[in-house]
Amino acid sequence: MHISERLGTMTDIELKNLSSNAERLGHSGSSAQQEQAKSLLPLVSAEILARKGAKLAEAKTVAKPATRSRKKAVVTADADADE
């Protein structure tokens, strides 16, 4: 199994480490390592960006807890005090 086939199963930390190693090998590795890093980096970057996009989309859809406005709370407190 080629490492590019495992990208979807890697954790975010593993992807970040793989990206760092591929960048390093792309500059200082043997010619075979440089070629592999060159082909792997765009795939790793795409996976990282896809995950960031998914996290942003999820964060936007998470419902925020309902809160009473400050004015409403004051009015309610005044009404309770009048009783």
Give CA separation, 26 vs 36, 38, 67, in Å: 8, 6, 52
User: 8-57, pLDDT tens digit by residue?
Assistant: 999 999 999 999 999 999 999 999 999 999 999 999 999 999 999 998 88
* Threshold 0.85, pTM exceeds: no
Residues in the chain: 83
User: 49-83, pLDDT tens digit by residue?
Assistant: 999 999 888 888 875 666 666 666 555 655 555 55
